[in-house]
Amino acid sequence: MKNTYVYEIDGNLYINLTNACSNYCEFCVRNMKDNYDGYDLWLEKEPTAEEVLSAIPKDKEYDSVVFCGYGEPTERYDVLKKIAMALKGKYRLRLNTNGQGNLINGRDITDEIALLFDEVNVSLNASTAEKYDDICHSVFGKAAFGALVEFARSCAKKGVKTHFSVVDCIGEDEVEACRVLAFQNRVLFRVRKFIV
């Protein structure tokens, strides 16, 4: 099915806003699979806020509504914000992001993120700017890493439950270095399994 704007996995509702992303990660699931858990997340047309809101089943309960698809949600920050404002208070809201939202939007969006979201998950993926750039290839180059660390730190400081996540394929030493970095920045930490 084309134009999957919302999809369900394990009791959560996911919102697929865009295929745009400031990164080109070597391990990105988009490079390996043309569907995710059976959902085709490549979009022929990006949705409006109204199209997303009307695609959400009215008769179902969800543990969380998660902004996460085949792209970086903050690439469409105005639409994201409109949807989150409409859903705020009805659902627990989570943002899965590469943490580059401030760079992408040219301003600090973390005050608004902290107002709207209950939880933020930032993909950390590496312990230094050089290593991050080697595997994630951000359009912002090495500046991306410092910006995403600051983004997560700022969200956590403003009271949002904020995690850094890494995929286990980066190796044990890197995972441990990332765990220390998370701790130093007062950000929670989780290790995800690499999806082949």
Please, are residues 97 and 123 in contact by the beta-carbon 8 Å criterion? yes
Q: Which is nearer to ligand SF4, 88 or 150 (CB)?
A: 150
Residues of the shown chain interacting with ligand SF4 in the complex, contacts defined by CB under 6 A: 21, 23-25, 28, 30, 71-72, 98, 123
Q: Which is nearer to ligand SF4, 98 or 162 (CB)?
A: 98
Report the nearest approach of ligand SF4 to the CB of residue 42 (Å): 12
User: 3-state DSSP call for residue 189?
Assistant: strand
* Tokens 């959400």, residue located: 56
Q: Which is nearer to ligand SF4, 28 or 115 (CB)?
A: 28
Residue 188 has φ and ψ, to the nearest 5°, of -70, 165
For residue 41, count CB atoms less than 10 angstroms from its CB and return exposed for 0-12, middle for 13-18, buried for 19 or more. buried
Q: Which is nearer to ligand SF4, 24 or 194 (CB)?
A: 24
Report the nearest approach of ligand SF4 to the CB of residue 57 (Å): 25
H runs (alpha helix) in 117-158: 129-136, 143-157
Report the nearest approach of ligand SF4 to the CB of residue 54 (Å): 25
